[in-house]
Amino acid sequence: MKDLRAQWALEELGLPYQVHALDHIGGELDSEACRRISPFRQVPVIDDDGFIVAESAAVVLYLAKEAGKLIPSDFQGCTRVVQWCFAAVSTVEPTLACIDLIGMFDSGKTAHKLDAEVRRIAARPVSPAPASPERPGTQEAVPCAR
Ligand SMILES: N[C@@H](CCC(=O)N[C@@H](CS)C(=O)NCC(=O)O)C(=O)O
């Protein structure tokens, strides 16, 4: 699933790429080759002429910077994109993953409090980032709940 983030960025940027699928069930992620390129033996990982980047958000940022598209070149604009990338992987995603895990592993519905708390967090409205002096009127928002 998270490989789609890398592929989406590649498509948006119009960069050529080849997909090398790995057999997770067959244990390919535990191979020595995978261990060398992926710190946590997870995908996606990209190999850009020998420069290896793991972690989907880092991959997306790297590709955008490399192509000089989808990300502003000024420091503040760039930081805003980094902010939303962090928000996606460290705020939004863990909350939604927790809801999924409760659904998968708490079929007996014993984790009421945890379920309610996570859903409360997921339903929290997202305030737009404040407009920056350089971009008055520019605000961003992403939906969190689903
Ligand atoms: N934080 C990582 C998470 C990557 C991740 O969870 N990848 C999954 C596939 S979507 C994976 O490799 N799972 C195999 C495993 O953890 O053993 C990222 O955003 O790239």
Flag whether pLDDT at 136 surpasses 90: no
Residue 144 has pLDDT above 90, yes or no: no
**Domain spans in the chain, listed from the N-terminal domain onward:** 3-67, 74-146
CATH 3.40.50.1100 matches 3-67 = no
Ligand 1 centre from 74 Cα, in Å? Answer: 31
Task: Give nearest CA residue, ligand 1 atom 2.
Answer: 55
Rounded to 5°, the CA angle 105-1-72 comes to 125
Give the C-alpha separation, 28 to 37, whole Å: 13
Average pLDDT, the chain: 90
State in Å: Cα 94 to ligand 1 middle.
Answer: 12
> What pTM value is reported for the model?
0.85
Tokens for 46? Answer: 């990209």
Ligand 1 atom showing the smallest separation from residue 89 Cα: 19
Give the tens place of pLDDT for each residue, 5-59.
999 999 999 999 999 999 999 999 999 999 999 999 999 999 999 999 999 999 9
Q: Is 63 exposed, middle or buried (0-12, 13-18, 19+ CB in 10 A)?
A: buried
